[in-house]
Amino acid sequence: MNGGMNVSMNGDLHERARSLIDKERVEGLAAPELRWLADHLGACEACAGRAAATDAALRALRTMPVSVPSGLATSAQLLVRRRAEELRVQHARNVALAVSCILSWVVGVASAPLVWRVCAWLGREFDLPRVVWVLGFGFWWLVPAAAASGVVLWYRSRAEREVS
Amino acid sequence: MGAAIHLFAFAMEPETRAVARGLRRRDPELLDSLIAQYEHRLYRYLLYLSGSREMARDLFQETWLRVLARGHQYDGVTRFEAWLFSIARHLVIDLQRRKQMASLDEMLEPGEASRAWEPRAPDATSPLAQYAGRERGEMLQTALAGLLPVYREVLLLRFQEELSLEEIAGVIKAPLSTVKSRLYRGLNAARELLEARES
């Protein structure tokens, strides 16, 4: 009975040592665990062998030769510089577009009373129903803005496609 | 220990912030130096994940284009390499999705790993170095080919890139417990594979 318990206790000790060997490398150990493990490894050849095998596996991983294709960085640098230039040009174009949209809106707002009067005058001259020249004014106001919005959205979606 | 980590983080901060500022400006000089600095590490990571030199080379370029486009998203607080690897990882997964696979976990079946894993590039070192390293290198590569990509990935991030467990969790977008369990399983698998190979 006692012998069985000893075997089981020894098994538990080795199990604990094996788990600490891995834990030390993955997460690190607290000082008491580290001391316990060092004592155990000093006394147990099998567990010391396992620790050595673990270190060998990690050394193998760390020193595994991977040779980089020649010119990899240079070609990436060229590609990135070219794309950066494209993005810069695209950005400048977007800024120009945004500025022209804003200017167009400001001019549109400023000239709205005048255009309203012109539309009303045309309506009177050609004897048009009020709804017609009001709609005409509405189109004059909406169509350029809608076209500009369409262009902006198209540019944007194209830029996003290119980036992704 | 905590103070040391804090001091280290403080010392690192200006560099990462400078990188973040440069990326926001799309500074070509900075990008050039980052590409040169991370050439080997990024390529190795992509190779570990994709298992193909050809794919790793294409993904390398794609990763830097993505860095250029999304540079403003880098916060300058986390380590740059963690952010870089998470971008690279997304690209690998996107590529695999395009190939009708849902995630990295499904990238390769164990049996397929050895076929896809081909890290050896055309020899570029001296003949003597080639001769000396060939046998050992081949043995390691063959053994590690048996590892699933999800294990290869965390082992690389932990033991080669020396990222913290939290940083790895950030890169692979997985809970800390998943990172740990993959590391333990991966370590165990690597040890067994190498032991079996050596015996």
- Structural domain count of chain B: 2
Same domain (yes/no): B138, B101 = no
Are B181 and A27 a contacting pair, CB within 8 Å?
Answer: no
B143 at A interface, C-beta within 8 A: yes
Do B89 and B167 reside in the same domain of the chain?
no
- Per-residue pLDDT at A164 exceeds 90: no
Asked whether the beta carbons of B118 and B142 are under 8 A apart, the reply is: no
Percent with pLDDT over 90 in chain A: 41
SS3 content of chain A, % helix, strand, coil (to 5): 90, 0, 10
pLDDT computed for residue B191 by the predictor? 86
Q: Which residues contact A140 (CB under 8 A, 6 or more apart)?
A: A115, A119
**Residue B20 sits in the same domain as residue B80:** yes
Instruction: Note the pLDDT of residue A73.
Output: 95
Q: How far is CA A83 from CA B19, B25, B34, B94, B128, in A?
A: 19, 14, 16, 21, 41
State which residues of chain B have pLDDT below 50.
102, 108-116, 121-125, 128-129, 131-132
B10 domain-assigned:
yes
Same structural domain for residues B25 and B57?
A: yes
Domain residue spans of chain A = 2-62, 72-163
Is B69 in contact with A69 (Cβ distance < 8 A)?
no
A88 contacts B141? CB cut-off 8 A: no
Judgement on whether residues B169 and B195 belong to the same structural domain of the protein: yes
Q: Is the separation of the CB atoms in B92 and B31 below 8 Å?
A: no
Question: Does some domain include residue B63?
Answer: yes
CATH number at residue B169: 1.10.10.10
One domain for residues B2 and B98:
yes
Q: Say what the pLDDT of residue B183 is.
A: 94
For chain B, the residue count is 199
Question: What pLDDT shows up at residue B50?
Answer: 84
The percentage of chain A sitting over the pLDDT mark of 70, rounded to a whole number, equals: 90
pLDDT at B111: 44
pLDDT (tens digit per residue) in A59-107: 888 877 788 999 999 999 999 999 999 988 888 888 888 888 888 888 8
Cα–Cα separations (whole angstroms), residue B153 to A57, A120, A141, B11, B148 = 15, 73, 59, 28, 9
**Domain enclosing residue B71, as ranges:** 1-107
| B182 vs A10: which has the higher pLDDT | B182
Give the helix, strand, coil percentages of chain B, each rounded to 5: 80, 0, 20
Query: Which pLDDT belongs to residue B108?
Result: 47
Give the pLDDT score at A121.
93
pLDDT of residue B180: 95
In a domain, B145, yes or no: yes
CB contact under 8 A, B190 and A67: no
Is residue A49's pLDDT more than 70?
yes
Look at residue B2 in the predicted model and tell me its pLDDT.
Answer: 53
A17 and A41 Cβ atoms separated by less than 8 Å: yes
What are the tokens at A22?
């891995």
Task: Report the CATH number at residue B65.
Answer: 1.10.1740.10
Predicted TM-score (pTM) of this structure: 0.69
What's the mean pLDDT when you consider all of chain A? Answer: 85
Res A6 pLDDT > 70 = no
In a domain, B193, yes or no: yes
Instruction: Give the C-alpha distances (Å, rounded to integers) separating A106 from A33, A39, A99, A151, B185.
Output: 74, 82, 11, 18, 66
| Chain B residues in contact with A88 (beta carbon < 8 A) | 26
Structure ipTM:
0.71
Q: Which residues of A touch B67 (CB under 8 A)?
A: 80
Instruction: List CB contacts of A152: < 8 A, sequence separation 6 or more.
Output: A97, A98, A101
**Which residues in A lie closer than 8 A to residue B124 (C-beta atoms)?**
67, 70
pLDDT at B114: 44
CB contact under 8 A, B36 and A57: no
